[in-house]
Chain A
Amino acid sequence: MSCVFYPGCSLDSTARDYYLSTQAVAGALGLELPEIPDWTCCGSTPAHQSSELLALALPAQNLLAARGKTVAVCCAACYSRLKAANHTLAHDPKARAAVAEALGADYDGSTPVKHLLEIIVRDIGLKKVAERVVRPLKGLRVAAYYGCLLVRPPEVTQFDDPENPTLMDDVLAAAGAETLDWPHKTECCGASYSITDVSIVHQLTRDVLAMARDAGANCIATACPLCQLNLDLRQREIAEKFGESFDLPVFYFTQLLGLAFGLKPAQLGLRSLVVNPEPLLAAAGMLGEQVAGQRQGCTGCGH
């Protein structure tokens, strides 16, 4: 299928590893992700809290630049803003007229927007994912953490079940991981309060980490740069503040998928993770040559 890619600001900075692993995994699955030329910020939370018009016009500008092609998104926050703009502009003629006046170009809300998980499960298919696996994620007990904005509000995102989504679980299970049934899949991590009031993030992220640990997870998979940053970068200070221990590596689902595809850690940006994943991956036999050596065919190009 033919897509254009909207990386969003986080994938350009704090989530560079999400960008790298996304491109590597997409390449392995035969999905090309050329970036929308000169894409700009979606406005994120500050726009919708400050100005409805900017919250619509900033995504609309990028969706117009996609020229009708399906826009692939990885960041849950960008995904939410692009989908919300599409929903409003398709249903509210007054909002559409206002955005057209502000932007100097009319946009009808019709550019399809899909998260990479939707593309992998619904367009590429789990069968193709399973076929591409050379190093099953055996020994990984993964808590798939979706956070807020992929699933809510469901009439806008139409992503999956808003209370118990399974798209990420399905992808990781196809790659050989054991995924857990746990209750905090869609609880909030506190998102950008990491900057403005970290006490909110400490409490909410602690609850997510503790629930994953208590459910028996040995790692967490995420599909959102803000979730990943809060769970990973702040894990140590949260453990200290609450007198607990977690030791849960927090991956992007694309990094786990890439490992299962036999891609190299450097291609997946694994060194950007703060909680060191090496002990877990080594124990699971995911690192080291003897495992890679078992692969059939060429390790370099994926054939």
Chain B
Amino acid sequence: MSTEAQAVCSVAQSDDFVREVATASGANLAICLQCRKCSCGCPVAARSDLKPHEIVRLVQLGERDGVLASRMIWECTSCETCATRCPQNVDIPAMMDALRQASRAAKKTAATTTVPVFNDIFLRTVRRLGRMYEAGLMASYKLRTFRFFEDMDKVPLMLRKRKIALLPHKVRGGAERKRLFDRAKDMEGKSR
């Protein structure tokens, strides 16, 4: 079978994955022209393992494991340049969000990233306090990722420059907030 024929066959077999990602993200992945405009403007394409147009193609081809384990979905900065410049209006940032969630659900997340840990701590802080609490966030993040010394030289500077508060600011409405987070978790049917 020619490479092209193989590709056509694998597209036929890959319907599930592409449909799953398209449904979760609302992005119309089938209309990508592979023009690479997304990758040309992407700030992290040069350093990552896959480029945005490659991710789209691999999703079309049903390469579930390769996509979900890629570093790219965790190195994408959500800068929206790809979506802004795409001549076909493919919502690549929404696709990335859907892939991040699928990657975590499938426990395929690249070992190199600490973004999921950061996201979890961030959202837990918002659930509990209503607002971000940088000092607490950083302490929890460092404990979970064993990055105790990274940026520790910045702490005195940031305190002196009044950039971090030592105590959290708690907003009223804690019970409603917890209910919102719990309901969102139930409705989306996944653990967080």
Chain B residues numbered 159-190 whose CB sits less than 8 Å from any CB in chain A = 161-165, 169, 171-173, 176-177, 179-181, 183-185, 187-188
A46–B119 contact, CB under 8 A?
A: yes
Interface residue tally on B, bucketed by range: 35 or more
B122–A272 contact, CB under 8 A?
A: no
| Complex Cα spacing A41 to B134, Å | 13
| Complex Cα spacing A191 to B181, Å | 25
A14–B171 contact, CB under 8 A?
A: no
**Which of B11-19, B29-37, B56-64, B75-83 sits within the interface?**
B75-83
Q: Does A23 contact B (CB under 8 A)?
A: no
User: Given A9-B131, A152-B81 in contact, is the A41-B158 Cβ separation under 8 Å?
Assistant: no
B171–A38 contact, CB under 8 A?
A: yes
On B, residues with C-beta under 8 Å from A are 43-44, 47, 75, 77-81, 83-84, 93, 97, 100-101, 113-115, 118-120, 122-123, 126, 130-132, 134, 138, 141, 150-151, 154, 157-158, 161-165, 169, 171-173, 176-177, 179-181, 183-185, 187-188, 192
Interface residue tally on A, bucketed by range: 35 or more
A interface majority secondary structure:
helix
Known: A49-B78, A151-B84. 16 other contacts (CB 8 A): A9-B131, A13-B165, A40-B173, A50-B119, A98-B187, A102-B183, A148-B78, A153-B84, A188-B43, A188-B79, A195-B141, A196-B113, A196-B118, A197-B75, A198-B151, A274-B157
Which A residues touch B150, using CB under 8 A?
Answer: 198
Which A residues touch B181, using CB under 8 A?
Answer: 54
| Complex Cα spacing A149 to B84, Å | 11
B161–A272 contact, CB under 8 A?
A: yes
Which A residues touch B171, using CB under 8 A?
Answer: 38-40
Nearest Cβ distance between residue B179 and chain A, in whole angstroms?
A: 8
Q: Does A249 contact B (CB under 8 A)?
A: no
